[in-house]
Amino acid sequence: MKKTILFIFMTLSILSCKSQQFKNYNKPLAELLSDSLFLNKPVIVCVEKSKYKLSIMIDSITVKAYPVVFGGNPIDDKLKQGDKCTPEGKFKIRTKYPHQSWSKFIWIDYPNEDSWAKHKQAKAVNKIPENANIGGEIGIHGVPEGMDYLIDNRINWTLGCISMKNIDVEEIYPYLNENTEVKIVH
């Protein structure tokens, strides 16, 4: 009995910490965005790689935050195809669509002008090979069905994309469009 009570207490403590780390994580985004303070204002997506966090923001206010994971190298900025890094910078959403493996795919405009400048500079200083390709098809997506543990355990499994739980990507999906700004920082 004591072990059961201890297990329940520890589970509730972990869930409480997670909801504090990810603002309003247990509240529906639709409810939060219906606040008159946020009506008819554009949503901004802010990804903080070092915190494994994606935030939905309006102006400078974080409305809700979600846990996410990245490519196999979550620290460095993406410079070339195959480096398993998630790019850093300011992007826009190119398009979005349902995806058979990851629920939804929200495609960002990597590589953009700044990405190309970083890529060329890395070649110029021999940080990457002269024949390296810049890569592409970077986006925000879910996980294969039944694999939420990848997010819960911070397993960086993508080739450079931002991955979140399917329920979370499905929640943000309707609020994002081709004008939505995506900021990715270390």
Q: For 149-172, write each residue's pLDDT tens digit.
A: 999 999 999 999 999 999 999 999
pLDDT digit string (tens) for 10-40? 443 344 344 468 999 999 999 999 988 888 8
Range of the domain at 43: 2-185
Count of domains observed in the chain: 1
The model's pTM: 0.88
- Using a 10 angstrom Cβ sphere, with 0-12 exposed, 13-18 middle and 19 or more buried, the burial of residue 155 is middle
- Of 146, 17, 139, the C-alpha closest to 68 is 139
Query: What is the CATH number for 71?
Result: 2.40.440.10
Residue 111, preceding bond cis, omega within 30 degrees? Answer: yes
Contacts of residue 97, defined as CB under 8 A and 6 or more positions apart, other chains included, come to: 104, 105, 107
Q: How many CA atoms lie within 13 A of 72 on its CB side?
A: 5
Sign of CA dihedral 37, 50, 179, 171: negative
